[in-house]
């Protein structure tokens, strides 16, 4: 019997689409199309499970349930009722419908959601009231009188790896940090210095990459509640992932911050993920840093001005970063996440953008030392 395939869409933060496409290709999954905000691919359950288990830069993975053309609500109800809901939603399961509409006659998103719920009730029966975190998300996108229906296979956002128990101000999302490291071609084979580490996101994501540990181990996914969920296949993929994992870091990872609370947060997060003692932690000023190795990658996510200390002058900080990147660690690769503002442009060290994206609503770039 031929394996049933699904059209899937990996949602990413805008700017990380090519990084995610590269991750899919490395898993043996051929990206079908790259568009703003994500990557399309075709695959069966194994490919869907692999993508959820291994993708580091993805936000969530949707499966296309189908699409229908409709210019009025009766036709929309009729055609939505014919979609294969039973493949993805068990009778009685709680669900939440999210709708976006543009360029269509049907613009009332709440009414579209109600019609979809009625169509699903016709096929599956009445839904239950779901507990927090157990609700299946369904996405409808109306565009030019065509309704594309997708179902979320991931559940919680994929940046929720399960290790961030403690945090300090303005943390970088795990998916963004991992995507930045992949854009820098970091593979764990050379030392990494994480200055101004905060809650340790760069360091921990670097450790997961270096150890070849799948970021999706130890968490649940929405597809586990689908009628055709194959627990045996999932267990096998977990076993294979564990076999590929390295026991020790190939090269040192060093995390530095001048805030004792930040170092304590990193220690708690490392303990939660079972990596306590694996990363070198140092509480001190970055201005005093000296290279312990002849080469490596240094990376940081400094204050931007818009987030922390908005009214404070950051010229001195960026002057120090200029000296550290350009002189103290001149032989190291260097990357920094910050807005392409006059602060970074005023440095004598030459930086060029690898990625442009938004962090906490602020337009930033991953700038790499040229």
For residue 253, the model assigns a pLDDT of 98
pLDDT band, very low/low/confident/very high, at 311 (cuts 50, 70, 90): very low
Give the mean pLDDT of 110-130. Answer: 90
Cβ(122)–Cβ(83) under 8 Å?
A: no
Distance CA 188, CA 169 (A): 27
For residue 131, the model assigns a pLDDT of 52
pLDDT exceeds cutoff 70 at 306: no
Query: Which of 78, 46, 95, 43 minimizes the C-alpha distance to 64?
Result: 43
Distance CA 245, CA 249 (A): 10
Distance CA 282, CA 364 (A): 27
Cα dihedral 221, 224, 227, 229, rounded to 10, equals 120
Strand order in the sheet with 95-102: 31-35, 38-43, 6-12, 58-69, 146-152, 136-143, 95-102
CA distances from 300 to 180, 181, 313, 348 (A): 11, 11, 19, 18
Q: Please state the domain extents for the chain.
A: 6-152, 174-211+246-369
Instruction: Look at the block and give the residue holding tokens 């990376």.
Output: 299
Query: Helix (H, G, I), strand (E, B), or coil: what is residue 215?
Result: coil
Q: List, for residues 319-350, the tens digit of each pLDDT value.
A: 999 999 999 999 999 999 999 988 888 899 99
Question: Of the given ranges (73-82, 160-169, 206-215, 277-286), which has the lowest mean pLDDT?
Answer: 160-169
Q: Which of the listed CATH numbers 3.30.2130.30, 3.40.50.720, 3.40.720.10, 3.40.50.2000 matches domain 6-152?
A: 3.30.2130.30
Q: List, for residues 124-180, the tens digit of each pLDDT value.
A: 998 766 555 579 999 999 999 999 999 999 999 999 998 888 778 767 999 999 999
Give the mean pLDDT of 214-228. Answer: 95
* Chain mean pLDDT for the chain: 93
For residue 341, the model assigns a pLDDT of 87
Residue bearing the bigger pLDDT, 208 or 303: 208
For residue 368, the model assigns a pLDDT of 97
pLDDT exceeds cutoff 60 at 302: yes
For residue 307 the two structure tokens come to: 């987030």
Range with top average pLDDT, 125-129, 146-150, 282-286, 360-364: 146-150
pLDDT band, very low/low/confident/very high, at 246 (cuts 50, 70, 90): very high
pLDDT exceeds cutoff 90 at 309: no
For residue 129, the model assigns a pLDDT of 63
Specify the CATH class of 174-211+246-369 in words.
alpha beta
Query: Which of 337, 334, 346 minimizes the C-alpha distance to 366?
Result: 337
């Amino acid at each position: 019997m031929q394996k049933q395939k699904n059209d899937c869409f990996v949602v990413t933060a805008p700017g990380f689409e090519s990084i995610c496409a590269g991750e899919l290709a490395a898993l043996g999954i051929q990206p079908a199309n790259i568009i703003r905000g994500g990557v399309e691919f075709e695959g069966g359950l194994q490919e869907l499970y692999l993508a959820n288990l291994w993708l580091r830069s993805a936000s969530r993975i949707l499966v296309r349930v189908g699409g229908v053309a409709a210019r009025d609500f009766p036709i929309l109800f009729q055609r939505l009722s014919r979609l294969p809901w039973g493949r993805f939603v068990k009778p009685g399961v709680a669900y939440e419908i999210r709708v976006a509409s543009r360029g269509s006659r049907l613009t009332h998103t709440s009414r579209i959601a109600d019609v979809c719920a009625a169509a699903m009730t016709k096929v599956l029966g009445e839904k239950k009231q779901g507990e927090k975190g157990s609700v299946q998300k369904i996405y409808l996108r109306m565009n030019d009188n065509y309704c594309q229906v997708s179902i979320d296979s991931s559940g919680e956002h994929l940046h929720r790896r399960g290790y961030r128990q403690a945090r300090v101000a303005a943390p970088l999302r795990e998916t963004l940090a991992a995507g930045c490291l992949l854009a820098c071609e970091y593979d764990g084979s050379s030392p990494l210095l994480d200055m101004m580490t905060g809650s340790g996101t760069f360091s921990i994501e670097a450790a997961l990459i270096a150890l070849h540990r799948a970021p999706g181990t130890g968490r649940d996914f929405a597809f586990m509640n689908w009628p055709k969920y194959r627990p045996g296949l999932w267990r096998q993929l977990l076993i294979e992932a564990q076999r590929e994992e390295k026991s020790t870091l190939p090269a040192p990872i060093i995390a530095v911050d001048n805030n004792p609370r930040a170092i304590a947060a990193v220690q708690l997060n490392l303990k939660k993920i079972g990596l306590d003692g694996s990363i070198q932690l140092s509480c001190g000023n970055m201005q005093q840093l000296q290279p312990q190795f002849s080469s490596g990658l240094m990376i940081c996510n400094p204050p931007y001005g818009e987030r922390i200390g908005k009214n404070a002058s950051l010229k001195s900080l960026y002057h120090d970063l200029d000296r550290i990147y350009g002189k103290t660690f001149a032989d190291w690769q260097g990357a920094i996440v910050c807005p392409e503002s006059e602060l970074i442009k005023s440095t004598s060290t030459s930086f060029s953008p690898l990625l442009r994206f938004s962090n906490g609503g602020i337009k930033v770039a991953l700038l790499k030392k040229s």
